């Protein structure tokens, strides 16, 4: 079995759907499980719905209607016959959200978020399955919540590997024996049948979970870039494709913030030695990047990773006492409690500084609790720049027009918390 993952950018319009079909045709007759995300930008739009619902600003229904319209618009281009049953299926899925929005929010934000945001993948996969079937490519649609079991950590569901593996072996593996199986990325289900999400951009991880549990031969992530590049083309000019990477190098890159693959994707694949291909859906014949356990070609060129939207928090005791282990344990405890993710840290005699993602909804309550006990300094609007396999030249070029607030170096990696000017 091969697992293919197509992200939102690959199915953002009718042309994208046709392109996916043409790629799948090249693999016809093979056992393929297809993992698909929501249509491009849908998850963001559904997040907006959730925010308005909780802010009670009266816009939630309108925002939801825009998402609904966009889907039906696209559907009418793919399947003009509006009596096709997929129209009703889509309609019913959106109605479930209408029902949620009818009442005042009484459940937790994260729970509601998952019930609403997860429909993006439900509807995109229904549309794609109907389109593929209408185009003569026999496709079985499966509800991923029936086999990826998570706990109820909403917005960050933790996979129950034992149950998930049993269900995938019992349901998905047999289904893939004859023809294409299509399912949703990013979502899972709890033992009580509620939807969970696995974290933003989590569809890659879904592909890895399925591959691991099914013992797949490979995973291919189809993207709008030619493969893994040595720098994110959104932030750096002159990015070059890397033909081959080890799991180790890749997990480091994603840990530092490379968004080409979701960070959680690598572990399950490494654990079963399942190669990961990153290929372009715009040029399916091109070789892309292969990621596996072979470490021989790592470390050839500098790899640049930029994490935007960072804050630097400096904490010191109010009474000039040392920032010792008990203090740090306390601060880490608060971070874990508020699910604040730190990306780099440094300590000194009476201060402890760390760089974290600027996720306001988590950071603000954390800072509030922190300031009760400590003196807290906050710097916002920063970036975390990581250069793996750095050389003088690269560091120099990259630090031009950037003020460095914090720096850390190992033999392999340099990390800089910077402000751009
Ligand atoms: N649709 C989800 C997101 O945008 C999951 C994914 O694309 O992987 O975060
Ligand atoms: Mg996406």
**CB of 203 shorter than 6 A to ligand 1:** yes
> Whole-angstrom Cα distance, residue 357 to residue 138?
43
Mutate to test the pocket of ligand 1, among 10, 34, 38 (most ligand atoms within 8 A of CB): 38
Is the separation of the CB atoms in 181 and 1 below 8 Å? Answer: no
**CB of 185 shorter than 6 A to ligand 1:** yes
Mutate to test the pocket of ligand 1, among 195, 203, 210, 265 (most ligand atoms within 8 A of CB): 203
Same-domain pairing of 218 and 312: no
* Domain containing residue 133: CATH number: 3.40.1160.10
pLDDT of residue 234: 87
**CB of 188 shorter than 6 A to ligand 1:** no
Q: Which two tokens stand for residue 147?
A: 């086999």
pLDDT of residue 368: 97
**CB of 114 shorter than 6 A to ligand 1:** no
pLDDT digits (tens, 9 = 90+) for 232-278: 988 888 899 999 999 999 999 998 889 899 999 999 999 999 999 99
CA of 274 relative to ligand 2 center, distance in Å: 23
Would 245 be classed as within a structural domain? Answer: no
Q: Which of 159, 194, 223 is the last residue of a domain?
A: 223
Instruction: Give the burial class of 407: count Cβ atoms within 10 A of its Cβ; 0-12 exposed, 13-18 middle, 19 or more buried.
Output: middle
Q: Which residues pair with 346 in a beta bridge?
A: 353
CA of 120 relative to ligand 2 center, distance in Å: 10
End-to-end CA distance of the chain: 50
Would 288 be classed as within a structural domain? Answer: no
Same-domain pairing of 76 and 198: yes
Same-domain pairing of 210 and 311: no
- In the block, tokens 């596996």 appear at 292
**CB of 201 shorter than 6 A to ligand 1:** yes
pLDDT of residue 178: 81
pLDDT digits (tens, 9 = 90+) for 146-193: 999 999 999 999 999 999 999 999 999 999 998 899 999 999 999 999
371: containing domain: 303-420
**CB of 200 shorter than 6 A to ligand 1:** yes
From the CA of 197, the nearest ligand is: 1
- Ligand 1 atom nearest the C-alpha of 44 is 4
Same-domain pairing of 26 and 148: yes
Which residues lie closer than 8 Å to 249 by C-beta, 6 or more apart?
A: 295, 298, 299, 303, 388
pLDDT of residue 150: 98
Same-domain pairing of 318 and 203: no
Same-domain pairing of 205 and 341: no
Same-domain pairing of 208 and 315: no
Same-domain pairing of 64 and 184: yes
Which residues lie closer than 8 Å to 231 by C-beta, 6 or more apart?
A: 238, 239, 240, 303, 304, 305
Same-domain pairing of 168 and 310: no
Q: Which two tokens stand for residue 102?
A: 């009818």
pLDDT per position in the chain (421 positions), as tens?
A: 999 999 999 999 999 999 999 999 999 999 999 999 999 999 999 999 999 999 999 999 999 999 999 999 999 999 999 999 999 999 999 999 999 999 999 999 999 999 999 999 999 999 999 999 999 999 999 999 999 999 999 999 999 999 999 999 999 999 999 889 999 999 999 999 999 999 999 999 999 999 999 999 999 999 999 999 999 988 888 899 999 999 999 999 998 889 899 999 999 999 999 999 999 999 999 999 999 999 988 777 899 999 999 999 999 999 998 988 999 999 999 999 999 989 999 999 999 999 999 999 899 999 999 999 999 999 999 999 999 999 999 999 999 989 999 999 999 999 999 999 8
Would 176 be classed as within a structural domain? Answer: yes
**CB of 7 shorter than 6 A to ligand 1:** yes
Q: Which of 223, 251, 267 is the last residue of a domain?
A: 223
Would 228 be classed as within a structural domain? Answer: no
pLDDT of residue 271: 98
Would 290 be classed as within a structural domain? Answer: no
**CB of 118 shorter than 6 A to ligand 1:** no
Same-domain pairing of 117 and 10: yes
Mutate to test the pocket of ligand 1, among 11, 184, 199, 200 (most ligand atoms within 8 A of CB): 200
Same-domain pairing of 217 and 308: no
> Whole-angstrom Cα distance, residue 39 to residue 333?
38
Would 81 be classed as within a structural domain? Answer: yes
**CB of 314 shorter than 6 A to ligand 1:** no
**CB of 197 shorter than 6 A to ligand 1:** no
Which segments of 308-359 does DSSP mark as H helices, in order? 325-338
Would 267 be classed as within a structural domain? Answer: no
Is the separation of the CB atoms in 158 and 150 below 8 Å? Answer: yes
Same-domain pairing of 406 and 308: yes
Domain tally for the chain? 2
Radius of gyration of the chain (CA): 23
From the CA of 45, the nearest ligand is: 1
Would 208 be classed as within a structural domain? Answer: yes
From the CA of 264, the nearest ligand is: 1
Among protein residues, the one with the nearest Cα to ligand 1's atom 7 is: 201
Global pTM reads 0.90
Q: Which of 223, 255, 282 is the last residue of a domain?
A: 223
Among protein residues, the one with the nearest Cα to ligand 1's atom 2 is: 201
* Domain containing residue 375: CATH number: 3.30.2130.10
pLDDT of residue 361: 87
């Amino acid at each position: 079995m091969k697992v293919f993952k197509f992200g939102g950018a690959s199915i953002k319009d009718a042309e994208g759907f046709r392109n996916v079909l043409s790629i799948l045709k090249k693999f016809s007759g093979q056992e393929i499980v297809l993992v698909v995300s929501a249509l491009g930008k849908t998850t963001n739009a559904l997040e907006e719905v959730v925010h308005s619902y909780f802010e009670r600003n009266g816009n939630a229904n309108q925002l939801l209607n825009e998402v609904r319209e966009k889907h039906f618009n696209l559907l009418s281009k793919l399947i003009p016959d509006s009596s096709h049953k997929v129209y009703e299926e889509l309609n019913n899925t959106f109605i479930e959200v209408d029902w949620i929005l009818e009442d005042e929010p009484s459940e937790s934000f994260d729970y509601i978020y998952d019930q609403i945001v997860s429909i993006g993948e439900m509807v995109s996969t229904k549309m794609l399955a109907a389109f593929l079937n209408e185009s003569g490519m026999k496709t079985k649609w499966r509800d991923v919540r029936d086999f990826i079991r998570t706990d109820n950590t909403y917005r960050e569901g933790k996979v129950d590997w034992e149950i998930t593996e049993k269900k995938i072996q019992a349901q998905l593996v047999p289904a893939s024996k004859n023809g294409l199986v299509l399912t949703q990325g990013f979502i899972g289900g709890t033992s009580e049948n509620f939807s969970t999400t696995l974290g933003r951009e989590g569809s890659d991880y879904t592909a890895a979970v399925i591959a691991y549990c099914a013992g797949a031969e490979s995973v291919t992530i189809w993207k709008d870039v030619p493969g893994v590049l040595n720098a994110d083309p959104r932030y750096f000019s002159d990015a070059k494709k890397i033909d081959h990477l080890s799991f180790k190098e890749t997990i480091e890159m994603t840990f530092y913030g490379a968004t080409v693959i979701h960070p959680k994707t690598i572990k399950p694949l490494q654990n079963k030695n399942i190669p990961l291909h990153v290929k372009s859906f715009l040029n399916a014949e091109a070789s892309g990047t292969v990621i596996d356990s072979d470490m021989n070609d790592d470390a050839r060129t500098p790899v640049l990773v930029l994490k935007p939207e960072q804050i630097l928090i400096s904490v010191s005791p109010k009474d000039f006492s040392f920032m010792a282990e008990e203090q740090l344990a306390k601060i880490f405890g608060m971070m874990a409690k508020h699910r604040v993710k730190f990306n780099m840290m440094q300590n000194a005699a009476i201060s402890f500084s760390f760089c974290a993602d600027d996720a306001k909804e988590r950071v603000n309550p954390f800072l509030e609790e922190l300031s009760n006990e400590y003196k807290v300094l906050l710097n916002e609007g920063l970036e975390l720049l990581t250069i793996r396999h750095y050389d003088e030249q690269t560091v120099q070029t990259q630090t031009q027009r950037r003020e460095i607030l914090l720096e850390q170096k190992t033999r392999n990696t340099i990390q800089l918390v910077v402000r751009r000017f």
